[in-house]
Amino acid sequence: MVDLLALILAQQPPEQTQGETVGFTWQWLGEGLLQCTPKTTYRKTIVLSAGIHGNETAPIELLAQIINDLFVERVALKVRVLFVFGNPEAIRKGVRYLENDVNRMFCGAYQHLRQDAETERAAQLEQRTAQFFEQSGAEAQRYHYDLHTAIRASLLPVFALFPYQTQPYDDFLIQSLNAADLDALVYHNTVGKTFTHFTAERCQAASSTLELGKAKPFGQNDLAEFASTDQVLRAVLSEQALPCRQKPSIRQFKVVDSVLKQSDDFQLQLSADAPNFSTFQKGEVIATQQAGNYVVDNQQVWILFPNPNVKIGLRAGLVLKEIG
């Protein structure tokens, strides 16, 4: 048994770094990194990550349970999988990140920041993830589910974001997200520096970021809220049929712009507790700052991840339009 979360919280390595169960071999690749390979032939190779932001605990607990159930044979592993708990020190401290947002450091962006534990971690995650996919063979289909929770509440509580890409999005990935009873899918319009942008662009994986409710401290999550996602991830790992969707049709949005914070006088025209997917109408002001106000110039838009507390030069929100 490898309890990846307990090892992180205790800041300890496991007593042994590799081994096997009845159904799979496993290898501890470093803090928060566990690779499991089925003994039978596999068709898919999958990265399941959480804790890129250390205070987003529900997905960490969700993956920790799945790992434990693999080792006690409650889940039969039929795919090759790399479990990633992204920012161990931030997880221990219960904070989003220590100095800079790790989920803006990928695709080599860490090289442009002052070197510290988090830039080193981003480099390590890139290296280990790329190696994992390369070692899985060219025939295996590549997937990445990066699990997060949002800073604030959401009018559409569970949703997924796709990194920008020019080729069609993977059918199985979309089917699995639909089966997970997500409320919405959001398509990015530009290349980014997130973990899923890295795996999509550099590793040719079908990748998606899942947002599962609101960030809470360890022990305060009701994992039953995420039962549909948990059920789908277990089905994906065991190559079982995906469950049937229980909710109304999933809604789809595309990112049309980013609201950038350009000076210290930046202010969002939203209350501090305004939820994700809050709406603005034509002519309404989303943000004010000396460099110029952001005014809605078209039909209704939605705002995602509004956060006026980001550093200057970073996005303080995504502007969306509904499609489909």
**CA 136/CA 88 separation, integer angstroms:** 25
What is the amino acid identity at position 290?
Q
Question: How crowded is the C-beta side of 265, counted as CA atoms within 13 Å?
Answer: 6
Q: Which of 15, 126, 211, 322 is catalytic?
A: 211
CA angle, residues 57, 16, 102, in degrees to nearest 5:
35
**CA 3/CA 68 separation, integer angstroms:** 7
- Residue pair 32/86 in contact (Cβ under 8 Å)? The answer is yes
136: tokens are 């899985």
188 annotated among ligand-binding-site residues? no
Instruction: Specify the 3-state DSSP secondary structure of 48.
Output: strand
Q: Is 20 left (phi over 0), alpha (psi -120 to 50) or beta?
A: beta
**CA 179/CA 174 separation, integer angstroms:** 9
120 annotated among ligand-binding-site residues? no
288, with CB counted inside 10 A (0-12, 13-18, 19+), is middle
Q: What is the DSSP string of 91-110?
A: HHHTSS-SSS-GGGSTTTGG
115: tokens are 């070197």
**CA 253/CA 319 separation, integer angstroms:** 10
CA angle, residues 80, 29, 177, in degrees to nearest 5:
40
53 annotated among ligand-binding-site residues? yes
- Non-local CB neighbours of 70 within 8 Å, separated by 6+ positions: 21, 24, 36, 77, 237
Instruction: Specify the 3-state DSSP secondary structure of 150.
Output: strand
126 is catalytic: no
In 3D space, the residue among 106, 103, 207, 96 whose CA is nearest the CA of residue 161 turns out to be 207
User: Which residues are marked as active site?
Assistant: 211
Annotated binding site: 53, 56, 148
Annotated binding site for Zn(2+): 53, 56, 148
